[in-house]
């Protein structure tokens, strides 16, 4: 690869510019002297190297106050920030064994302070520090990363931000990074930083959320149990999503994210439709080459041929799982979750030589009650539409008509969702036909996203030395594995292996 084509991390691209260098006068002066002597003056070169080293450490421009927090939550002025604060107050600060420090941050500190004061007034955390960061100020991005052992970024839609700058700042300063994205276009941008993060030993964990998180954790548990009990890999794994209680509606942020993905360009949408766009094994292809491929007529362009069982069309329609006796239909995050599991399968193979299964087929559906069959209609493969097949605009109009529409940064209160629950029901089969089940029951999906994000961050802050892999752009499961499972269960989520929770147990776990 030519030097001009080499990957330049995004913060470095912004930071190492003539305009920025000129702001640090000692380096600018040293550079001028080197240029004047065409690099032949050893004293001038030595001064230049000394000043460049200082510049590369970012200290010359820093406004950092020297305080370092275990967790810093960025973008917490809206609905997701409300959930993160509520999770901290109701769960983490009560049951987590570690005494941890934390701070909040946002582009507009006054908004963050207002929410903090509302939720923490009268508690010992009412003066939790609030930091400022804006992507158009690279110094503030660097200072935020310096302030944290782990940054939890909840400012979406991510694909409409410059979030790569924050990730790169974390890599440069040694802070780990977590977000709650469920956006394929954003994930595709983040994976470009994998090698960079791996070299620095920094964990970059996008998609630490209910979407992406629980189906992958379930697959991990079943693969581990299958190896322990039968010494076999997974061949098939299916996730069935269910839920109940108070009617849940999409938050304003969720609708904004769906709209952003719907308006993506043709190239991005084409990538979104690739079942293996985040990596993974195409079973008829291995490290030694393609075994089966499709050849485009007229061009000779060859592409690996996918198995029919891996195509998105499998979960984009209503069907019956005759083996388990389940009617199933499209689930809004199936297009995302399947890709996360396939990425984990690849990462476990590449980093630890132990994939879920070299021939794994993973699919995800909504578990349909009989009365829903008539009402349910299936979205087309690769769709970014809602779970009932409606467009984002139509979904918003329907929510407005029902009085359940929320603007961006807004969503239902936890009190309104007190009886809401989600259920994740997993089934797996080994290469030789052995079967296993497991299931999770949690509160509503938005609150469970806060659980996954916070507990992933806690793993990175306090379990780092026990984690199997030492950095990279990873999924929560690959990064944290058993430690994350233990924290999820210890904080109150219901878990069962060997069978699924029955109807009597399908209700939200209580707060501690």
Q: How confident is the model at residue 305, as a pLDDT?
A: 75
* Helices 42-56, 25-36: crossing angle, 10 deg rounding: 150
Res 387 pLDDT > 50: no
Q: How confident is the model at residue 376, as a pLDDT?
A: 47
Asked whether 216 and 340 are in contact (CB, 8 A), the reply is: yes
Res 437 pLDDT > 70: yes
14-28, 103-117, 300-314, 394-408: segment of lowest average pLDDT: 394-408
The rounded distance, in Å, linking the Cα atoms of 406 and 412 is 8
For 177-182, what is the mean pLDDT?
96
Q: How confident is the model at residue 381, as a pLDDT?
A: 42
Nearest alpha-carbon partner for 411 in 448, 446, 452, 451: 446
Nearest alpha-carbon partner for 141 in 159, 164, 122: 164
Q: How confident is the model at residue 291, as a pLDDT?
A: 55
Q: How confident is the model at residue 228, as a pLDDT?
A: 97
Asked whether 117 and 81 are in contact (CB, 8 A), the reply is: no
43-52, 66-75, 264-273: segment of lowest average pLDDT: 264-273
Asked whether 165 and 14 are in contact (CB, 8 A), the reply is: yes
Query: Would you state the structure tokens that stand for residue 351, as one six-digit string?
Result: 């980093």
Query: Would you state the structure tokens that stand for residue 285, as one six-digit string?
Result: 């292809």
The mean of the pLDDT values for the chain is 87
Res 231 pLDDT > 50: yes
Collapsing DSSP to helix, strand or coil, 130 comes out as strand
The rounded distance, in Å, linking the Cα atoms of 101 and 410 is 27
Collapsing DSSP to helix, strand or coil, 434 comes out as coil
Can the peptide bond before residue 157 be classed as cis, meaning omega within 30 degrees of 0? yes
The rounded distance, in Å, linking the Cα atoms of 506 and 156 is 31
What are the helix and strand counts (H, E) for the chain? 18, 18
Express each pLDDT in 236-269 by its tens digit.
Answer: 999 999 999 886 555 555 555 555 555 666 666 6
Alpha helices for 387-500 (secondary structure H): 392-401, 445-462, 476-490
Q: pLDDT exceeding 70 applies to what percent of the chain?
A: 83
What phi and psi, each to the nearest 5 degrees, are found at residue 106?
-170, 170
More confident residue, 261 or 420: 420
**Number of residues in the chain:** 512
Q: Which positions ≥6 away from 341 have C-beta within 8 Å? A: 215, 216, 219, 237, 356, 362
End-to-end CA distance of the chain: 55
Q: How confident is the model at residue 389, as a pLDDT?
A: 46
The rounded distance, in Å, linking the Cα atoms of 59 and 56 is 8
More confident residue, 256 or 26: 26
For 410-427, what is the mean pLDDT?
91
| Sequence-ordered strand ranges (E) for 245-337 | 285-286, 289-290, 293-295, 302-304, 319-321, 326-329
What phi and psi, each to the nearest 5 degrees, are found at residue 173?
-100, -5
Q: How confident is the model at residue 442, as a pLDDT?
A: 97
| Sequence-ordered strand ranges (E) for 136-267 | 148-153, 176-179, 203-205, 234-244
Res 190 pLDDT > 80: yes
The rounded distance, in Å, linking the Cα atoms of 57 and 67 is 17
Place of tokens 């693969």: 223
Q: Which positions ≥6 away from 442 have C-beta within 8 Å? A: 210, 214, 421, 422, 424, 448, 451, 493, 494, 508, 509
75-84, 251-260, 474-483: segment of lowest average pLDDT: 251-260
Q: Give the model's confidence band at 1: pLDDT under 50 very low, under 70 low, under 90 confident, else very high.
A: very low
């Amino acid at each position: 690869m030519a030097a001009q084509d080499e990957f330049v991390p995004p913060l470095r691209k912004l930071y190492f510019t003539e305009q920025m260098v000129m702001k640090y006068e000692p380096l600018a002066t040293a550079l001028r002297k080197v240029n004047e002597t065409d690099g032949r003056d050893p004293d001038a070169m030595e001064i230049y190297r000394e000043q460049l080293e200082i510049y590369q450490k970012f200290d010359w421009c820093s406004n950092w106050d020297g305080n370092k927090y275990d967790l810093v939550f960025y973008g917490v002025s809206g609905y997701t920030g409300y959930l993160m604060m509520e999770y901290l107050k109701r769960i983490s600060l009560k049951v987590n064994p570690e005494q941890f420090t934390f701070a909040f941050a946002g582009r507009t500190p006054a908004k963050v302070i207002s929410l903090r004061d509302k939720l923490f007034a009268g508690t010992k955390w009412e003066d939790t520090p609030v930091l400022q960061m804006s992507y158009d100020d690279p110094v503030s991005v660097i200072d935020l990363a310096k302030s944290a052992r782990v940054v939890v970024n909840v400012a979406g839609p991510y694909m409409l931000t410059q979030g790569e700058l924050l990730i790169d700042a974390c890599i440069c300063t040694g802070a780990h990074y977590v977000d709650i994205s469920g956006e394929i276009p954003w994930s595709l941008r983040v994976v470009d930083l994998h090698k960079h993060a791996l070299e620095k030993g920094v964990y970059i964990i996008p998609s630490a959320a209910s979407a992406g998180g629980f189906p992958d954790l379930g697959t991990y548990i079943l693969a581990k149990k299958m190896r322990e009990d039968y010494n076999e890999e997974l061949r098939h794994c299916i996730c069935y999503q269910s839920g109940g209680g108070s009617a849940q509606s999409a938050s304003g942020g969720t609708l904004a994210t769906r709209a952003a993905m719907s308006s993506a360009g043709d190239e991005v949408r084409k990538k979104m439709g690739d079942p293996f766009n985040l990596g993974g094994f195409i079973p008829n292809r291995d490290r030694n080459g393609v075994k089966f491929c499709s050849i485009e007529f007229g061009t000779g362009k060859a592409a690996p041929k996918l198995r029919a069982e891996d195509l998105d069309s499998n979960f984009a329609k209503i069907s019956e799982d005759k083996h388990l006796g389940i009617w199933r239909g499209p689930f809004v995050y199936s297009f995302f979750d399947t890709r996360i599991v396939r990425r984990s399968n690849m990462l476990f193979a590449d980093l630890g030589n132990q994939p879920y299964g070299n021939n794994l087929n993973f699919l995800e559906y909504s578990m349909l009650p009989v009365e829903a069959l008539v009402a349910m209609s299936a979205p087309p493969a690769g769709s970014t539409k809602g779970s009932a097949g409606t467009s984002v605009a139509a979904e918003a109009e329907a929510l407005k008509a029902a009085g359940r529409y929320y603007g961006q940064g807004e969503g239902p209160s936890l009190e309104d969702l007190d009886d809401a629950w989600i259920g994740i029901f997993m089934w797996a089969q080994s290469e030789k036909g052995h079967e296993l089940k497991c299931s999770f029951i949690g509160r509503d999906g938005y609150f469970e996203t806060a659980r996954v994000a916070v507990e992933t961050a806690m793993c990175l802050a306090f379990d780092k030395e026990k984690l199997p892999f030492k950095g990279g752009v990873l999924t929560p499961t690959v990064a944290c594995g058993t430690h994350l499972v233990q924290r999820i269960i210890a904080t109150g989520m219901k878990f069962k292996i060997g069978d699924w929770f029955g109807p009597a147990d399908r209700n939200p776990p209580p707060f501690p």
